[in-house]
């Protein structure tokens, strides 16, 4: 057993209430990452970062689209469309043409 692994094992046992065998099993399960073992013990979710890397230009347009979508959603919520008014206006337009 390497010194680093022994230190990780000792760390896990002091930070949790795991015995030697449980700590060893958990370290093997988490590929020797003692931080992930303690996070699992405390109930903290372990997330892998799978963010897609995009260019600055893509990020700018993404944020613009999101902002415009949000502003239109707020406007449409504040000013609902009345279907009867639209039909009447369309009928008047068609009649005048």
pLDDT in tens, 31-85: 989 999 999 999 988 877 666 778 999 999 999 999 999 999 999 999 988 888 8
Does the pLDDT value for residue 91 go beyond 70?
A: yes
pTM: 0.48
Per-residue pLDDT at 50:
66
Task: Please state, in angstroms and as integers, the Cα–Cα distance from residue 11 to each residue in 2, 5, 25, 45, 57, following that order.
Answer: 14, 10, 14, 20, 45
Per-residue pLDDT at 97:
65
Dihedral sign computed on CA atoms, order 38, 43, 48, 54: negative
Integer Cα distance of 66 and 87 in angstroms? 31
What is the pLDDT averaged over residues 17-28? 93
pLDDT category of residue 96 using cuts at 50, 70 and 90: confident
């Amino acid at each position: 057993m390497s010194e680093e692994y022994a230190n990780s094992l000792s760390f896990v046992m002091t930070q949790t209430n795991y015995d030697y065998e449980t700590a060893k099993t958990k370290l093997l399960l988490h590929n020797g990452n003692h931080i992930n073992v303690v996070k699992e013990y405390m109930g903290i979710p372990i997330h892998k970062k799978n963010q897609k890397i995009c260019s600055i230009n893509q990020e700018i347009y993404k944020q613009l689209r999101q902002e415009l979508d949000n502003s239109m959603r707020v406007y449409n919520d504040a000013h609902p469309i009345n279907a009867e008014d639209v039909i009447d206006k369309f009928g008047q337009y068609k009649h005048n043409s």
